[in-house]
Structure 1
Amino acid sequence: MQIQSAYASGLQGLQTAQSGLTQATIDVAKPAPSQTSSPQDPTQAVEQVDKISALLSANESLRLGEASAKVLETDSETIGTLINIKV
């Protein structure tokens, strides 16, 4: 089993967060169903759930990005500390 470096994991997490946020943004921006449908129409309820899911996905991607940035920051600090000890 190959273990990725912290830098590679952080970078991959940022890329995943960016792509997830892009997809969530696209899902939220989709046009709403036409107003001609009745309020009791089940497809309107499904559309509302999809928008909520997309917003939750956007929030999840945001948190993933923040965690990945913290991984990169910690990796950088650790490397800096190791270099200071060796020099």
Structure 2
Amino acid sequence: MEIPSSLSSGLSGLQKAQSGLTQATVDVAKPAQPQAEANLEADASRPVENVDKTQALVSAVEAQNQGEAAVEVLETSSETIGTIIDLEV
């Protein structure tokens, strides 16, 4: 089993955070359907996706926290590499 470098872990974390934040903002931007319309359309041929705005906002905050943690990983990795080669990166 190969352990990924801290740099690749930090970059991967940033990419996942960006993806999560993008999905959360799309979910928040979707128009809410009134309950009566949702029931009528549920009987129609196409499925209805009713997005919980609160959950979407919680997901956005989670993605923000994940991004901040990934930045900390990248900064620590940069400091460590700078210390190892005796340079400030």
Tell me which interval the TM-score lies in, with the shorter structure as reference length.
0.7 to 0.9
Would you say how many aligned residue pairs link Structure 1 and Structure 2?
77
Measure how far apart 1:33 and its partner are: 1.4
SS at match of 2:32: coil
- Residue number in structure 2 paired with 1:24: 24
Tell me which of the two structures has the higher relative contact order, counting C-alpha pairs closer than 8 angstroms and 6 or more residues apart: 1
- The 4+ residue runs of structure 1 with deviation greater than 6 A are none
**After superposition, where does 1:4-83 map in structure 2 within 5 Å?**
4-34=4-34, 37=36, 47=50, 50-83=52-85
Which runs of no fewer than 5 residues in structure 2 stay unpaired?
37-49
RMSD over aligned Cα, in angstroms? 2.4
Measure how far apart 1:29 and its partner are: 0.3
Which runs of no fewer than 5 residues in structure 1 stay unpaired?
38-46
- Residue number in structure 1 paired with 2:41: none
TM-score by length of 1: 0.79
